[in-house]
Amino acid sequence: MVVTISPTSGPAGTTVRITATGCIDPNGLNHAVGFNWGGLDQNDQMANRNNPNIVVTIPATLSGDTIRATHTVTQEETAFGGGTFFVQCGTTVRAVSFTSTR
């Protein structure tokens, strides 16, 4: 599975487009998109991974083998300088970093 986001950085108010190709989800029930805005550092990400206020579930659509979603970054989500968008399809998870600018 290949995941891209556009843009990869921006200030609060930026709408990020998330696209994942190569998702094989026959019944359409085994995919998800999320954003962990707890920082770009792996230690910050691990410390914040179970915080429901820092990990955001993003509604997504699956068409064929392509997942699409959009997320508008809030002011609060820029607090740690960025975060990571995650896309899950079946047992496969891919991550792409987003850097917050001010």
- Give this prediction's pTM: 0.89
Give the model confidence (pLDDT) of 46-98 as tens digits: 666 667 778 899 999 999 999 999 999 999 999 888 889 999 999 999 999 99
Q: pLDDT band at 42, cuts 50/70/90?
A: low
- The pairing of strands 31-36 and 82-89 is antiparallel
- What is the average pLDDT across 11-15? 97
Q: What is the CATH number of the domain that holds 44?
A: 2.60.40.10
The number of distinct structural domains making up the chain is 1
Radius of gyration in angstroms for the set of CA atoms belonging to the chain, rounded to a whole number: 13
**Of 53, 51, 58, residue with least CA distance to 17:** 58
Higher pLDDT, 67 or 25: 67
pLDDT for the residue numbered 45? 63
Specify the residue for token string 């920082």: 39
Determine the structural domain holding residue 35 and report its residue range: 2-100
Q: What's the CA gap between 102 and 17, in Å, rounded?
A: 19
